[in-house]
Structure 1
Amino acid sequence: METSPEAPRGYEALVHDTSVLDVSGGGRSGQARLEFASSTRLLELMETLRYVFAADPVLDSVLLVPDGRPVGFTARVRFEQQVLGTDRRDGRPPLRGGLGAGDHGTLPGAPTRFTAYCYRCGQCGRVTYRIAADEAPPACPVAGHGAMRMAR
């Protein structure tokens, strides 16, 4: 799969689809946006995506938006295969990990350097996730809907 040359290299491995960039994200059922700073570390981004997919079981894909610039979608199925390394046939993890596994060791406990914030439009239900909450709430891309509200 070829990605846009402007896509940051750290996130490039997570971008599975650049063919249909719906910059609004969440425009179709099963989609959401994830906005983050380009300085976000890959491991923090992967942990955030794990949280986002776990929080919304009907979510099929997430539009990655570093620094307000959409670069492409990461699909749940591909993300689970690539990052989580699960094998759906037997439900057990493979012997070797996926993307970001490093030496296959893990640290105990949940990561503490990031928090995912969920914003939802009160009129159409579009969803945007952000790693940082120190900015103004995102605006719904549908004209006239205004600012989204923090959902969780």
Structure 2
Amino acid sequence: PSGTVIASDDDSGVGFDPELLGIVLTEDGTYSLLVQPYIIGDSGDFTVSISTSDIMKLNDESLTVRLSDKTFSAVGIFEGVAGETVLLSVRVIAGAEREPYITVTQGETVLAIQSIGSIKRILLELDIPADGPVQVSVENFETGDNAVIEFSIER
């Protein structure tokens, strides 16, 4: 909605098709999909497929996500209770040679922003300001960098 490009992929070359996986639309609004040729003047047929999936729940068990150059973000949700303190554990199981970023929000309120850096595990103690869903996002913007990351919460 703000005019920001959320994701792009050209996968240029013979036999390669662009694909965008794991895109999370965090705001209500109208979104646009722009499809254009890699080389100006090229033409041809194409198919666009869009599918949805449930957001991963983080309430009762750990959540493992895989990030790659195709899936560069993942989101988990847990239900927060006003005034509670939650311990969020984020552990790199494999990969992540560069620095994935963790963002924790509840509505418009940012509860934490943290780079994992070169460590393998971080613990974030979160004070939940209101009842309602808390969103935990991990993003890895480096092309070709793969990571397997596990989240869990302790109340």
Give TM-score scaled by structure 1 length. Answer: 0.24
Which one has the largest radius of gyration?
A: 2
Higher strand share: 2
> Could you say which structure has the higher helix fraction?
1
